[in-house]
Amino acid sequence: MTPRKPPRAVVLLGAQRFEPTLGAAVAEIGAEAPIATITAGWQERETEDQELDAHLGGHTVNLRIWERAERVFRADRELHHAHRQRQEMLRLRQDFYRVRIEHELSASQVIQNRKAPPEVLEVERDTTLRAMRDLDEWHIAECARIRDDFEAAYRPLARDAVAKERREIEAILRDARTIAIAGGHVAALLNRMQLFGVETLIDGHALLGWSAGAMVLAERLVVFHDSPPQGPGAAEVLDRGLGILPGVVALPDPETRLLLEDRARMSFMARRFAPSLCMALPAGARVTRGDGLWQGAHGILVLRPDGTHGSL
């Protein structure tokens, strides 16, 4: 098989609903029509993309990844059953991992409030940090094992129903040299893209992703919310991503999901996921990765180990 070219450019953007910057980003990288869109994270609403199409001048073609997956599952009941079993196993693993992560977070909060010499507290905080990083790596490995076992047992790309849809996707991508990946339900988006091996069809394309669409481009997905209704939450590694943009943890919607002024919390997050760069993507933000360099950063916030945050 002829090796495919890496992406021509990868653009990460903040949420697009109220402050769309996608059109400006498309113009900035010189993308030509048509533009392929992936809105599988919207699930059943996948084709409700009229605003997105209008924003891009009416020059989009929706790959309809969600719809294609539903068609595959209707045609191949064995694959559908195996896929559901795999997803249930991944959910169970996530539940048990969450219990352990929350336990470590609770311990960290208790330690933070204890009276002790600074050097003792620093050692204890580092011990908690290492424990959480070990849990993250263990969880990623378990998710990878479950997915790899499924691939080996069922070889979805070789099955007739999947292969037919994949050929159609590939034909569209031969004409559309730019792919825009919308947000929505991040697990649904990742799973549907992986079902068709979309990441292996990139051949010098330009990629633009926002919200969940930015998250899936990284090598691992981190879900987070510092102030949910039920109380302070622990950031969780959800799974490995597509790995197109290594060394980055994409953190969309930081305005509502991160306590950016809590320096201790931001420091812990930055150090936990190091050496990856924790990159917060507020509405209106965007940045391009091309030729191995970050370019044209607008409004991007990078979490630093000292708990501060600043521009890229």
pLDDT at position 158, please?
A: 97
Q: Phi first, then psi: what are they for 57, rounded to 5°?
A: 75, 20
Around 36, how many Cα atoms within 13 Å sit in the side-chain half-sphere?
Answer: 23
- Residue 6 CA from chain centroid, whole number: 18
pLDDT grade for 198, boundaries at 50, 70 and 90: very high
- Is the model's pLDDT at 31 over the cut of 70? yes
pLDDT at position 79, please?
A: 98
C-alpha distances in angstroms, 108 versus 30, 101, 140, 252? 47, 11, 22, 25
pLDDT at position 107, please?
A: 82
- Residue 283 CA from chain centroid, whole number: 16
pLDDT, tens digit, for every residue of 248-292?
Answer: 999 999 999 999 999 988 999 999 999 999 999 999 999 999 988
pLDDT at position 3, please?
A: 54
pLDDT, tens digit, for every residue of 135-168?
Answer: 999 999 999 999 999 999 999 999 999 999 999 9
From the number of C-beta atoms within 10 Å of its C-beta (0-12, 13-18, 19+), residue 27 rates as exposed
pLDDT at position 123, please?
A: 86
Instruction: Return the higher-pLDDT residue of 112 and 230.
Output: 112
pLDDT, tens digit, for every residue of 40-83?
Answer: 999 999 999 999 999 999 999 999 999 999 999 999 999 999 99
